[in-house]
Structure 1
Amino acid sequence: MGTYELVNLFAGAGGLDLAARGLGVPSVGIERDANVCATRRAAGLATEESDVREFNPSDFPSANVLAGGPPCQTFTTAGTGTGRRALTDVLHFMQRMAMGEDVSEPLAQLNDERTGLVLEPLRWALAAADSDHPYEAVVLVQVPTVLPAWQAMGDVLSAKGYSVASGLLRAEEFGVPQTRRYAVLIARRHGAAALPKTTHQPYRTSEAPSDPTLPPCVTMGEALDRPEPFHVVSNYGTGGDPKARGRRTSVEPAFTVTGKIKRNRITTEDGAELERLTCSEAGQLQSFPADYPWAGNDKAQQIANATPPLLATHILTAALI
């Protein structure tokens, strides 16, 4: 691996930074949520508690890798279609930015500032390229609905000389004990960009695994220090209907970890109630260490929003080696 330093936009609780640390890559994260910053500092992660828009690449002159996961809430496909309109706006602004246009003023007029924040990594990447100090690699991770934005951003970066790969990755296929998909973009100045190769089999696929020699996905029982067997009854995606609640056992990976994970019931096989998941356990389902120092308020939401460190390790390895 070459010599790298990473600047992480919208850094969150530290998943990408932990991955960078494990790979020997120094990193600094920009994050404006005070609670998240409290966790990051407790974990010893270099942090700028501020708004990404207040900085430029020149403020981090030694960083040659750009990473990030901008807010995604306005891109949801549910509801009234505002997510689709937000995506249309973003793709339009990307085209203008590719032509060298300053779009900061019209972005400030959007109804929801989060729509424009997804463009910040592109602003940084283009600014660095225009200053003749382009980033060696760009790594972006978010929810699946952001993939069209990553693909359009990839087209812009390709025109700037990057090799680009983007697509959806399943967390459980990389050893994370949780089923969740992520939209990922990897761009490289040197070498061919490619998404990381899976290390585990997918969960409940009707198709034969592409590589039957891979181990099965990691289960909750393997990840958590709890007597087995146990059942997890989730309220996620049920629309409030108790009959629609999903159920998984300790020999399966977890449901998607959300900010409401503490509402999930934990029971024995015969239905007796057990202690609900702690913050430490929720973090472990995201592949954080059991002793990760979650701090501040809204810990469950911090955990839900974080990039799983194990998945991030595979992504960064693919981007940098």
Structure 2
Amino acid sequence: MSELNVVEICAGAGGQSLGLELAGFKHALAVELDANACNTLRLNRPEWKIAEGDAASLDVWNPADYQEIDLLAGGVPCPPFTIAGKQLGATDERDLFAWAVELCGIVRPRALLLENVRGLSMNRFAAYRQHVLDRLNSLGYVADWKLLQASDYGVSQLRPRFVLVAMRPEDFSYFHWPEPGKKQPKTVGDLLHDQMASRGWRGADTWRLKANDIAPTIVGGSKKHGGADLGPTRAKTKWKAMGVDGWGIADEPPSAEDPKDHLPRLTCDMVARIQGWDSERYKWEFSGRKTSRYRQIGNAFPPPVAEAIGIAIRDALLRKTTPQKILENVKPVHDPIYAVLRSSGKFMTLEQISKALGEPLDPATLDRHINHLKHDFEIEEKERRGERAYRLGEFKAFLGQENHRRHELFQLQLSKIS
């Protein structure tokens, strides 16, 4: 297998790392903030170069030292976009998505891979996505987004991830999103039966039949939200229907002394198996205490999914696939109103925006859209002949600016960021 090099930011405990390694990428550097996750990476790959600390700090690593790397990859923080959160996007001090895109102007990688939660695919972030595509295009890259389901790649879990892949046009023409596997993932019962029965629990066989579905999304959570459990109330309800107590994580599987109708909790090893670390091929150890281990596992990108995407990127870079024609003058439009305001650069009224769109736009729809834009962009407003006019201003996201408010907020929240 031809070996390609990767720099991975926000590497976490190594789910994406392992998948990319199995796809044929060698780590030139892995950058991660959490000390326990860094220890996990060192435990499993002591030969790797690990940079511990804020990925956006030049004191931790210098992107200019890794110019022309084959792949720049990362699982940048999810809280700015998660549906269960406040969806602060560009104004969240944890948001590094736009900054990671800016790195392409410094590192000039052949390929970029960024993954995040499904929330980033929602209408709320249409303009944010549009900005990312436009910025990558200005840097000479062709990019595409896709919502991938982990269960399509053998992971026994309902875990949608929104993935961005970008390459230079000559490479991107060879890129094809990985096809779903033909084999159905195991049910939770089949996947975990041997672990549930490992200490002689007499109810393991009955439990196996009850746990007859794949798992809901594992939620690792953050330091802001205390200990380890299996997520929000709706997730716990689904877990209970499969015979699992979702209100915590066990130190060990149930024992022979537990009654047959015992409602067991999952262990960290069980959660890791649900996340895709389920065979010798994906063998991995985790460092730290139980809550930290669970958080590392729960926040990871499942290795089989990362491997599938990594192979697709590798095959494109090595020109192993059939090229497809790229229509560079037909760019995807995620947010047409943002696109109109951005291309104009001037104040525009409802009538002018409608005319540019080629279709009528009612005031209520425009008002809702402008309010969405205000979360991530500066919007100037003024009255023009009795009509409200709008002009798109600066993107609020952290792009590497030394004076950005992100630095102060990040330091204030550092003890709670994971």
1:114 pairs with 2:108: no
Q: Deviations over 1:23-54 (max 9, x none)?
A: 23111210010011111111116221121112
Shift of 1:75: 2.2
Shift of 1:78: 4.2
The answer to whether the 8 Å contact 1:164/1:194 transfers is no
Shift of 1:165: 1.9
Shift of 1:151: 5.3
Aligned counterpart, 2:415: none
Q: Deviations over 1:210-242 (max 9, x none)?
A: xxxx332332234332454424598643279x8
1:237 pairs with 2:216: no
Aligned counterpart, 1:41: 42
Alignment of 1:33-182 (within 5 A): 33-44=34-45, 46=48, 47-54=50-57, 55-61=61-67, 63-78=69-84, 82-83=86-87, 86-87=88-89, 90=90, 112-115=92-95, 117-128=96-107, 134-147=108-121, 148=125, 149-150=128-129, 152-182=131-161
Aligned counterpart, 1:211: none
* % identical equivalent positions: 29
Aligned counterpart, 2:189: 221
C-alpha change, 1:26 and 1:229, in structure 2 (3 Å) is farther
The CA distance in 2 between the partners of 1:138 and 1:259, in whole Å, is 37
Query: In the alignment, which of 292, 306, 310 is matched to residue 312 of structure 1?
Result: 306
Shift of 1:126: 1.9
Where structure 1 has 5 or more consecutive residues not aligned to the other structure, the ranges are: 91-109, 129-133, 200-213
Residue type matched to 2:180 in 1? T
The alignment partner of 1:173 has SS state of: helix
Query: In the alignment, which of 246, 267, 288 is matched to residue 296 of structure 1?
Result: 288
Shift of 1:20: 2.1
The alignment partner of 2:4 has SS state of: coil
Compute the RMSD of aligned alpha carbons: 3.3
Aligned counterpart, 2:225: none
The CA distance in 1 between the partners of 2:247 and 2:111, in whole Å, is 31
Shift of 1:123: 2.0
The CA distance in 1 between the partners of 2:43 and 2:160, in whole Å, is 28
The answer to whether the 8 Å contact 2:68/2:110 transfers is no
Residue type matched to 1:196 in 2? P
Shift of 1:248: 5.1
Q: State how many pairs are aligned.
A: 265
The CA distance in 2 between the partners of 1:311 and 1:293, in whole Å, is 19
Worse-superposed segment, 304-313 or 217-226 = 217-226
The CA distance in 2 between the partners of 1:259 and 1:310, in whole Å, is 27
What TM-score, normalized to structure 1? 0.71
Residue type matched to 2:296 in 1? Q
Where structure 2 has 5 or more consecutive residues not aligned to the other structure, the ranges are: 196-203, 217-229, 316-418
C-alpha change, 1:248 and 1:152, in structure 2 (3 Å) is farther
